[in-house]
Chain A
């Protein structure tokens, strides 16, 4: 699963360099420059990738018993 996450993050980084949108003047919804719309998509894509990573590749060794034990004694 970690390999999938790494590939997803690398894809985001490559897609971020959108040279094909550089000089495009079209507007989305009549007001949003296409280059900006595309990068809003990148932001949403990043949120999805991180949701995916947190759901399916959360480092399980992080939540060790000693951490949980120390948490049980603390107050919010």
Chain B
């Protein structure tokens, strides 16, 4: 007890984070006890996930560091318009994708035994090559997404443990350096994914989603009371809002065309490989109804407090702070050590609930689409197949960690580029499900057009260094997000090539379309 009393604030917060991480490890070990020993169980939880768990795991997976750290940081810079730009639009578009694409993919997955997107595309397009082209693209796009989480996790731990260990010489301010925090996050996620597989991941996601949603609301109330200093919560909210510069309470300075073109970004969920895998874990297609309906409300519950906290940050005389650090900084400096520790666990929960699915899906893609596709699957035991997936998960965690050491990037900018690439593949998955005339050559040229346009525009933006990069085809007064051009390129290439090439065989059309 005396030891607890002797701890400084940073140590208390770090201890709470460690307890939380310990709970996650326990959950992973518990899930591993229910493991049936098959590849299907390890990667898809034997299609046993019901509506509630599906909602929580799909939502937890789509809400990453981008939703908490990125949204508050961007609202700190640009004001409340960030909510309309990405949150309310995602409420419409994400559910649209779940409804139009997720449910159909689930049905085909169950009927034909798919575990990955590539298996579906190979079958639907009668092409092996599409798998070889898609594999590096999907992995290449998911790695920046992973980096967002790993780097944000390390950054959050560094800010929240400021002054915790002044005598250890780990850093100038006595905090846990970001690279150690990132290592800790990677290690914990790796352990529960390694042992628990998809079941452990789904449970951990549900647990972590509950934690970050609940603690997000608590953070909001505590910060409002602290910054507003009113007698009641409403009075505090009014007081703190009164101090916010009016430019942050409107969308003054935000381009309307840019705002409109941001609508294309959420289309990315249709091609997220980790979400695809979650769709296939569903117990039945009816399990999708709850996620489709509740997703916009859940986004609102998470984003509204974060956006408001971000604009409240502008009322403080903050030191030279990076936007990504606004939320952890406020938690660190405005809330007591114990609650601050709990809230920081909530921030890490949001980050890790995406990392786990992403690590697992890459293991799944490699195992199914490369190893088992090109080797004789019947000669590899189920046990060995699970181990192949696990080994690849370890490799990807290692590679991601090493890449995360390369330096700071804006969470928001990295996420938007990554989402733009996935959104560029939306026309292809949509056409594969709803357009009989789509051919393998059409899908290939659409995919390559996406890659070419994405690489060109990314290079034009200084590889993400220009965070305000936009296209101006109608003049500088009407800027558009690069994602518009990327989607346009992939759509035109896909349509033109499909029309001039041989349509798919009747056998394939009968398999995927009702006459």
Task: Verify that A and B bind, or say they do not.
Answer: yes
Q: Which residues of A contact B362 (CB under 8 A)?
A: none
Asked whether, in the complex, the Cβ of B293 is within 8 Å of the Cβ of A47, the reply is: yes
Q: Which of B92-100, B122-130, B471-479, B488-496 contacts A (4 or more CB under 8 A)?
A: B92-100
A64 to B92, CA, bound (A): 27
Asked whether, in the complex, the Cβ of A35 is within 8 Å of the Cβ of B250, the reply is: yes
Q: Report if B234 contacts A (CB, 8 A).
A: yes
Minimum CB–CB distance from A59 to chain B (whole Å) comes to: 7
Question: Which B residues from 49 to 93 make CB contacts under 8 A with A?
Answer: 50, 80-81, 83-84, 87-89, 91-92
A76 to B54, CA, bound (A): 13
As a 0/1 sequence over residues 1 to 39 of chain A, the CB contacts with chain B under 8 angstroms (1 = contact) are 000000001001100111101111101011111011011
Q: Report if B156 contacts A (CB, 8 A).
A: no
Q: Tell which of B89, B238, B284 touches A16, judged by Cβ atoms closer than 8 Å.
A: B89
Asked whether, in the complex, the Cβ of A74 is within 8 Å of the Cβ of B48, the reply is: yes
Query: What bracket does the count of chain A residues touching chain B fall in?
Result: 35 or more
Minimum CB–CB distance from A19 to chain B (whole Å) comes to: 6
Asked whether, in the complex, the Cβ of B260 is within 8 Å of the Cβ of A17, the reply is: yes
A16 to B47, CA, bound (A): 36
Asked whether, in the complex, the Cβ of B293 is within 8 Å of the Cβ of A63, the reply is: no
Question: Which DSSP category, helix, strand, loop or mixed, fits chain B's interface?
Answer: helix
Q: Tell which of B46, B103, B110, B307 touches A36, judged by Cβ atoms closer than 8 Å.
A: B307
A27 to B48, CA, bound (A): 46
Minimum CB–CB distance from B394 to chain A (whole Å) comes to: 30
Closest partner residue, chain B, to A70 (CB atom): B110
Asked whether, in the complex, the Cβ of A74 is within 8 Å of the Cβ of B46, the reply is: yes
Q: Which of B179-187, B295-303, B317-325, B349-357 contacts A (4 or more CB under 8 A)?
A: B295-303
Q: With A27-B241, A39-B87, A42-B84 known to touch, is A47 a contact of B294 (CB < 8 Å)?
A: yes
Asked whether, in the complex, the Cβ of A47 is within 8 Å of the Cβ of B250, the reply is: no
Q: Which residues of B contact A61 (CB under 8 A)?
A: 514
Asked whether, in the complex, the Cβ of B300 is within 8 Å of the Cβ of A40, the reply is: yes
Closest partner residue, chain B, to A76 (CB atom): B48
Binding site for B on A (CB under 8 A): 9, 12-13, 16-19, 21-25, 27, 29-33, 35-36, 38-40, 42-44, 46-47, 49-51, 53-54, 58-59, 61-64, 66-68, 70-71, 74-76
Top 7 closest pairs, chain A to chain B, by CB: A31-B237, A46-B296, A43-B300, A33-B249, A39-B88, A42-B88, A46-B91
8 residue pairs bridging A and B, Cβ less than 8 Å apart: A27-B241, A31-B240, A36-B307, A39-B84, A53-B99, A68-B284, A70-B110, A74-B46
12 further A-B contacts with Cβ under 8 Å, apart from A47-B293, A74-B47, A74-B48, are: A9-B96, A16-B89, A16-B92, A32-B241, A33-B80, A33-B250, A36-B308, A43-B87, A44-B300, A51-B293, A67-B110, A76-B283
